Amino acid sequence: MDRFLLNYCTSFGLGYVSKFPGTLASFVILIPLWFIIEKFYSIIVILTIFFSILSYLILKKVLIKLKNKDPSYIIVDEYIGQTVAILFCNQNILEFLLAFILFRIFDIFKPFPINYFDKKKNAYGLIMDDILAGLFSGFIIILISWKWDLNL
């Protein structure tokens, strides 16, 4: 069971594939979201909440066994954060690309209050820093879209 839980957190090994597993996970989730978000937006919101809670519970169990409480190969939180950013996008490539770039910037540089949660080094902090990075990205996308009418 412990192995399965770790596999879930690493997206069944994808977290080990790249030097930049967070960026890879953030990019990978864009593809299915592009094809389903317009028709299934409400379901995506519900699934994001569900997987946030599920991932928190699983991360609590997995992190107990790990010395490093925020290893880069754990990427389940990246999917959640990037999805949160995409929830603010219209169905156009420019907004999806902007959501990806902004999310990665916030997730890497972690300005306040994102860094507050990142310093927790527990399951809650691991998920919350990415959710906040997604929310910050989403708010900027809304502002830019409103100001420059990105709806192509």
| Chain segment 85-123, per-residue pLDDT in tens | 999 999 889 999 999 999 999 999 999 999 999 999 899
Distance (Å, whole) CA 118 – CA 37: 28
pLDDT in the model for residue 62: 92
The domain ranges of the chain are 2-6+27-148
Chain segment 13-34, per-residue pLDDT in tens: 899 998 999 999 999 999 999 9
Distance (Å, whole) CA 152 – CA 150: 6
Position 150 pLDDT exceeds 60: no
pLDDT in the model for residue 33: 97
149 burial (CB, 10 Å; 0-12 / 13-18 / 19+) is exposed
Average pLDDT over residues 142-146: 87
Residue 119 burial (CB count, 10 A): 12
